[in-house]
C-alpha cells in the first residue's frame, strides 16, 4: 500500500513552522486554486537576509516536513547560489528568496489574481 500524500493544510502548516523556526521573513501564502492552468495549488513565499539564512530556511522546511509528514520535495532548484530556492512539494511550491531578489521578481504581482494570506511573525 502506497503512502498517502499529506493534505495541503498539513503540509502548509509544517512549511510555515519550518520557516518560522529560523526566522524567515515576510511569509505569504498565495492560493492559486481559482486560477486556470496553474502548476500547483499554493505558493508559499518568504525571504531571508543572506544566502546563509536562505539555506537555513530551506533546510528547516525540509527537516520539519520530513519529520512530521514523512514527505520530501519532489524537486529542489536554486540551492547552488541560495538567492532564490524553490522547493516543489507538487501541490505546494515554496519560494525562498534573498530580500533584494524577491523585490526584483515580485512574484506576488505576477500572480495578482491569487488570494494572498500574509503570516504575522513575532520576531
Q: How confident is the model at residue 1 (pLDDT cuts 50, 70, 90)?
A: very low
CA 99 to chain centre: 14
Give residue 44's pLDDT: 98
Residue listed under C-alpha cell 512549511: 15
Mean pLDDT (whole number) for 47-61: 97
- Taking the C-alpha atoms of residue 70 and residue 55, their distance in angstroms, rounded to an integer, is 21
> Where are the chain's structural domains?
8-113
Assigned fold of 8-113: Beta Polymerase; domain 2 (3.30.460)
Residue listed under C-alpha cell 492560493: 31
Give residue 92's pLDDT: 98
- Taking the C-alpha atoms of residue 20 and residue 25, their distance in angstroms, rounded to an integer, is 8
- Taking the C-alpha atoms of residue 9 and residue 22, their distance in angstroms, rounded to an integer, is 21
Amino acid at each position: 500500500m502506497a503512502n498517502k500524500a499529506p493534505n495541503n493544510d498539513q503540509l502548509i502548516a509544517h512549511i510555515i513552522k519550518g520557516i518560522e523556526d529560523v526566522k524567515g521573513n515576510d511569509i505569504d501564502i498565495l492560493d492559486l486554486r481559482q486560477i486556470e492552468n496553474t502548476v500547483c495549488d499554493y505558493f508559499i513565499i518568504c525571504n531571508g537576509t543572506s544566502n546563509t539564512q536562505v539555506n537555513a530556511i530551506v533546510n528547516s522546511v525540509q527537516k520539519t516536513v520530513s519529520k512530521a509528514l514523512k514527505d520530501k520535495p519532489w524537486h529542489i532548484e536554486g540551492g547552488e547560489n541560495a538567492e532564490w530556492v524553490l522547493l516543489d512539494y507538487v501541490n505546494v511550491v515554496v519560494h525562498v528568496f534573498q530580500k533584494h531578489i524577491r523585490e526584483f521578481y515580485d512574484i506576488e504581482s505576477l500572480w495578482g489574481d491569487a488570494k494572498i494570506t500574509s503570516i504575522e511573525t513575532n520576531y
